[in-house]
Amino acid sequence: MDRSKRKMEHIQHALATNEQKTNSFDEIRFVPNGLPNIYYGNSSLDTDLASLRLSSPILINAMTGGAASTERINQKLAIIARERGLAMAVGSQMAALRDPSVRDSYSIVRKENPRGIIFANIGAEATVEQAQAAVEMLEADGLQIHLNVMQELLMPEGDRDFTGYAEQIQRIQDRVRVPVLVKEVGFGMAKETIRKLIEIGIPMIDVGGRGGTNFAKVENLRRGKPLPMFDEWGLTTVESLLETREWINHRVAFVATGGVRHGLDVAKALTLGASAVGIAGGFLRLVQTLSIEEALHAVDEWHHELRITMTALGVSRVEDFSRVPLVFSGDVCKYAQQRKIDLSEWANRD
């Protein structure tokens, strides 16, 4: 299938399948603070993501590019990023690396946001030269390398050979001039994968859990013979964040993407150890259904919801979420018990 047509199918199916009203974030509650001793107006949303300083923990995560029709989507996203000071990642640039005619669908992001923090994006199959070209295409501040094994296996025209991915990621990490962020696309990460990435020196990891855009369902909608038994493959975002426990306050920074619906979810992810929180489907829906002004207002509301949560908890800085207690229920508790993760460490913080 033509790559441009595939990109538009992904957009259409992502919008159609991203309708979950509840997810694993609903199995977490904050322990309230009746005496927060803080003023709403003094809260700061600045956060450090490895060597990058962000003015908001909300990241517009990788979505699209690679077709003339997706250029307008990336342009709108870049305008939102510029106007609200958000970091942004583009979708996989492999299309532009293979077909220069679609390069503008990515480079429009830097054109609209010349001083913003922008992540380039490639697959783990990319060569070092392709990684460098992707960074140069956007004058990028960071490089995302996405992992999407199950999506590729379900994609009719997808990859089937994942040999040597860890070694290739390390070669890219060692030779590109910008920090590397390895991300899952919605199937989550277990500690075994996280450990391998840390061992090869990756400074940023996006655990990309189940709960948002479901690329197993997206690809099954594109298949002549769907394989629906894989629709719920992987770990949720909350389960994946629990898997990072061993490395919290370590040299690696974590991003949480997957099912983030509002500012309260952002706060929960930050409390579980994320330094930033990625939203993809939510932003795609904004730019496809609202005007730029309405989309900017929606971002303001997310920030407002986050500041309400911070004020109610007595948190004035993003890094202060590390001392906030959380309690868990439902399937999260069952998962943690089987993986021998002690949830009382979070529940009894002071």
Q: State how far the Cα of 259 lies from the Cα of 318, in Å rounded to an integer.
A: 20
Question: Given this model, what pLDDT does residue 248 score?
Answer: 84
Please write the tens of the pLDDT for every residue from 82-129.
999 999 999 999 999 999 999 999 999 999 999 999 999 999 999 999
The total domain count for the chain is 1
Q: What is the mean pLDDT of the segment spanning 326-339?
A: 98
Q: What is the mean pLDDT of the segment spanning 182-210?
A: 97
Question: Given this model, what pLDDT does residue 19 score?
Answer: 56
Three-state DSSP class for 207?
A: coil
C-beta of residue 102 within 8 angstroms of C-beta of residue 4: yes
State how far the alpha carbon of 297 is from the alpha carbons of 46, 63, 228, 229, in Å.
Answer: 20, 21, 37, 39
pLDDT at 57 over 80: yes
Q: Please count the other Cβ atoms lying within 10 Å of the Cβ belonging to residue 90.
A: 32
Residue among 94, 65, 95, 92 nearest 77 (CA): 65
Print the domain residue range for 113: 3-28+40-347
Question: Given this model, what pLDDT does residue 250 score?
Answer: 82
Kindly report the CATH number assigned to the domain that includes residue 330. 3.20.20.70
Residue among 277, 285, 155 nearest 215 (CA): 155
Whether residue 299 is contained in a domain is answered as: yes
Whether residue 35 is contained in a domain is answered as: no
pLDDT at 11 over 60: no
Whether residue 33 is contained in a domain is answered as: no
Q: State how far the Cα of 58 lies from the Cα of 29, in Å rounded to an integer.
A: 20
Residues with Cβ within 8 Å of 167's Cβ and at least 6 positions away in sequence, in order, are none
Q: What is the mean pLDDT of the chain?
A: 93
Beta bridge partners of 53: 48
Whether residue 34 is contained in a domain is answered as: no
Quick one: residue 5, left, alpha or beta (phi over 0 = left, psi -120 to 50 = alpha)?
alpha
Tokens describing residue 295: 């989309």
CA 39 from chain centre, in angstroms, equals 30
pTM of the model: 0.93
Whether residue 171 is contained in a domain is answered as: yes
Nearest-10 Cα torsion for 52, 55, 19, 264: 110
pLDDT at 348 over 60: yes
C-beta of residue 74 within 8 angstroms of C-beta of residue 106: yes
Whether residue 160 is contained in a domain is answered as: yes
Beta bridge partners of 327: 29
Q: State how far the Cα of 167 lies from the Cα of 124, in Å rounded to an integer.
A: 10
Question: Given this model, what pLDDT does residue 118 score?
Answer: 98
C-beta of residue 79 within 8 angstroms of C-beta of residue 292: yes
User: For the residues of 70-100, what is the DSSP string, one character each?
Assistant: GHHHHHHHHHHHHHHT-EEE-S-THHHHH-G
Whether residue 169 is contained in a domain is answered as: yes
Place of tokens 């501040």: 141
Three-state DSSP class for 21?
A: coil
The amino acid at residue 227 is: L
Whether residue 147 is contained in a domain is answered as: yes
